[in-house]
Structure 1
Amino acid sequence: MSEAARPTAVDEAEAGPSLLYLIKRAELVVRARLEEMLKPAGVTALQYTALTVLERHDGVSAAQLARDSFVTAQSMADMVRALESRGLVRREPHPRNRREKVIRLAGPGRRLLADYAEPARRLEERMVGELVPADVERFRDALKSAHRSLS
């Protein structure tokens, strides 16, 4: 990069916080609001995330559920035990490998997700409330693209 094209400290200061910082800040506030919203149900934001993953991809291994829920395999093992003890999920033998287990969303887990679908939708609407619909779609596409680029 030529000296003329290289951003200066003034340019960077005018640009504001880094995107990494802004994304993390948004993630933390979303998680805090989810925790508040889910408190009456007695589930955490991470448990709720795992349940929503199962809603979209039921019958996955614990390892896949951990990857899709952004937690470690050990954390997922603990989480599945907690969710299973509450009857929100169940473990069943894998249809093609009886030694392996898959995790499925149980009826109470489906009901919990149905009960919180509207509050979650309102939280998301609040998050993007200052954006026009076209900007919301661009934001969604930009986040998907960022994820693909880093995956």
Structure 2
Amino acid sequence: MGTSLLYLLKRTELAVRARLEELLKPAGITALQYTALTVLERHDGISAAQLARDSFVTAQSMADMVRALEGRGLIRREPNPANRRERLIALTEQGRALLAEYAEPARHLEERMVAGLSDEEVGVLREALVGAWRSLSRPGQPG
């Protein structure tokens, strides 16, 4: 039997995160903060709880991250018209500009990651990762 898939996925994640941290160092943000900003780019105006889920961090980590990103002027919080106690998080123009500045370097990092694969293999990998995520996201499944 070969190396565990769990191990291989974690090793790849850590390598991607390390390269992303290097890439983002000049911007003064972390890979996790970048991930949160990209989530907001796709789903602007969401709650901190949803942003935490979509960014793969705890609610407490997200609270700290929101304060940091808001302090940098990359996001803003606005009252939710449907729930006065909740505030929705949205990108600022400064946040959008940062994402635009790093879109091409991030794309190059992804291309580097799959450089040894054909287009067909990249498609298969993408489908396999989505399928694995869906399998693990089903509620009520042990392990």
TM-score range, shorter chain: over 0.9
Match of 1:96 among 38, 61, 82: 82
> TM-score when scaled to structure 2?
0.95
Give the match's secondary structure for 1:58.
coil
Partner in structure 2 of residue 150 of structure 1: 136
Is 2:111 aligned against 1:125? yes
What SS class does the counterpart of residue 100 from structure 1 fall into? strand
% identity of equivalent residues = 75
Alignment match, 2:126: 140
Residue aligning to 1:108: 94
Per-residue displacement from partner, 1:6-55 (whole Å, max 9, x unpaired)? xxxxxx2xxx2110000000000000000000000000000000000000
SS in 2 for 1:38: helix
| RMSD after superposition | 0.5
SS of equivalent to 1:99 = strand
Answering whether residue 25 of structure 2 is matched by residue 39 of structure 1, we say: yes
Distance in 1 (CA, whole Å) between partners of 2:113 and 2:93 is: 30
Equivalent runs, 1:19-98 vs 2, <5 Å: 19-98=5-84
Give the Å deviation of 1:87: 0.3
Report what 1:4 is aligned to: none
User: Radius of gyration: which is bigger?
Assistant: 1
Tell me the matched-pair count: 137
Give the unaligned 5+ runs of structure 2: 138-143
Q: Which has the higher strand share?
A: 2
Q: List structure 1 runs of 4+ shifted beyond 6 angstroms.
A: none
More contact order relative to length (CA 8 Å, sep ≥ 6): 2
